[in-house]
Amino acid sequence: MSRVYNFSAGPAALPLEVLEIIREDIPDWQGTGMSVMEISHRSKEFVGLAERCEANLRELLSIPDDYSVLWTQGGATMQMAMAPLNLTGPDSTVDYVVTGSWGKKAAGEAGKQCNLNLAADSSDKNFTYIPDESGWQRSDDAAYLHVTSNETIAGVEFHFVPGGDVPIVADMSSAILSRPINVSDYGVIYAGAQKNIGPAGITLVIVRNDLLEPARDNLPHLMMWKSYAESDSMTNTPPTFAWYVADLVFQHLLGIGGLDAMARINQRKAEKLYAAIDASAFYSNPVQVDCRSRMNVPFILAHASLDTRFLGESLAAGLTNLKGHRSVGGMRASIYNAVPEKAVDALIEFMAEFERTHG
Ligand SMILES: *Cc1c(COP(=O)(O)O)cnc(C)c1O
């Protein structure tokens, strides 16, 4: 078996320990004589999985009892529509802070459903910073404030929680489970699974219970958070395999010491990669230092003409998926939970050698 170091932005690396359990489990899951993909989501085995999965997630994130844990399909993108649909009426106003492409997309969805106020927007500098909170133009009567905790493309992360009294709705797709958070700072947290949770196909939504009642009465069943809350997320057939893998990932995280332990590893990984970039005259990261992402590290080479060579040689060295997003150019190393520290060490070593030979 040959595994590479995978820096994909998503779907992203999964822990090898989890993949090995899956391989073992597939033909005969829990003595059922079937794989987890072949059994009813209403079987006692699967319901047991769902209960353990939620209990473990609640432990990992210290989710308070007055919050519901929902699992949906449709990815984070569907939650960009479900948030305004569930939290607003057509005459409501919502505040959006747009610090990257995902936030822009979320704001676009909200604008279709209610009055959109762009409280702040960092597109003037190609989404390389978070505008100072004191300058945000917030409305008096917003139903909520939306932020993207980590902008996966430009590599910009909130290192603070915005103030104010209205519920904060946060897209945490690429930051969830990377460190402890205070769930009660938020009204709603949503995250597609394929960065830090598991395979694509399942989406996590954490909603404060008083926000579950939809503000409109004509929503399709599957577009109402309340439906998921009332059915233990078995409103219709859920993506059982993705749910099963998420359960294994949560068990794995608890096994390594939970999010405090994970955060320490992630901090070391990010610090050493940024330090290597900053120490070099050949590589650079364009993001303002106090809002750099710990999960997605974009960097550009001194000469874009070397990009193709960098990608070819890194691939040959067993380092994959380093190509940057087309809107940013250059490279991007996504160093999610399942990317081991030794992968970051190998990348740093490769970068130094590439600079020595081509810089
Ligand atoms: C990946 C990503 C999305 C899109 O997620 P889907 O599951 O593909 O809908 C949205 N927001 C952020 C911050 C992301 O990283």
Q: Which two tokens stand for residue 201?
A: 């196909």
- Determine whether the shortest distance from the Cβ of 246 to ligand 1 is under 6 A: no
Q: Residue 135's CB: how many other CB atoms inside 10 A?
A: 8
CATH annotation of 36-255: 3.40.640.10
What is the C-alpha R_g of the chain? 21
Reported confidence tier of residue 2, pLDDT bands at 50, 70, 90? confident
Per-residue pLDDT for 359 more than 90?
A: no
Mean pLDDT over 292-311 rounds to 97
pLDDT at 281: 95
Three-state SS at 288: coil
Q: Which two tokens stand for residue 221?
A: 């069943």
pLDDT digits (tens, 9 = 90+) for 143-191: 999 999 999 999 999 999 999 999 999 999 999 999 999 999 999 999 9
- Determine whether the shortest distance from the Cβ of 102 to ligand 1 is under 6 A: yes
Q: Where are the beta strands (DSSP E) in 130-230?
A: 142-148, 150-151, 156-157, 168-171, 188-192, 203-208
Instruction: Specify whether the CB–CB gap between 46 and 246 falls below 8 A.
Output: no
- Determine whether the shortest distance from the Cβ of 171 to ligand 1 is under 6 A: yes
pLDDT at 102: 98
- Residue range(s) occupied by CATH 3.40.640.10 in the chain: 36-255
The conformational region for residue 296 under phi > 0 = left, psi -120 to 50 = alpha, else beta, is beta
**5-15+257-358 has CATH 3.30.750.24 classification:** no
Select which of 29, 171, 247, 323 is catalytic: 171
Amino acid letter at 222? L
d(CA 335, CA 269): 8
Reported confidence tier of residue 63, pLDDT bands at 50, 70, 90? very high
Instruction: Specify whether the CB–CB gap between 192 and 75 falls below 8 A.
Output: yes
pLDDT at 1: 73
**End-to-end CA, the chain:** 34
Mean pLDDT over 15-39 rounds to 97
The DSSP bridge partners found for residue 172 are none
pLDDT digits (tens, 9 = 90+) for 207-265: 999 999 998 999 999 999 999 999 999 999 999 999 999 999 999 999 999 999 999 99
Q: Tell me the whole-structure pTM to 2 decimals.
A: 0.98
- Spacing, Cα 194 to ligand 1 middle (Å): 8
- Which residues, other chains included, contact 155 with Cβ-Cβ below 8 Å and sequence gap of 6+? 285, 287, 292, 293, 296, 297, 298, 332
pLDDT digits (tens, 9 = 90+) for 73-114: 999 999 999 999 999 999 999 999 999 999 999 999 999 999
Reported confidence tier of residue 345, pLDDT bands at 50, 70, 90? very high
102 catalytic per annotation: yes
- Determine whether the shortest distance from the Cβ of 56 to ligand 1 is under 6 A: no
Query: Long-range CB contacts (< 8 A, 24+ apart) of 283-286?
Result: 283/351, 283/355, 285/155, 286/126, 286/128, 286/328
269 catalytic per annotation: no
- Residue range(s) occupied by CATH 3.90.1150.10 in the chain: 5-15+257-358
Per-residue pLDDT for 54 more than 90?
A: yes
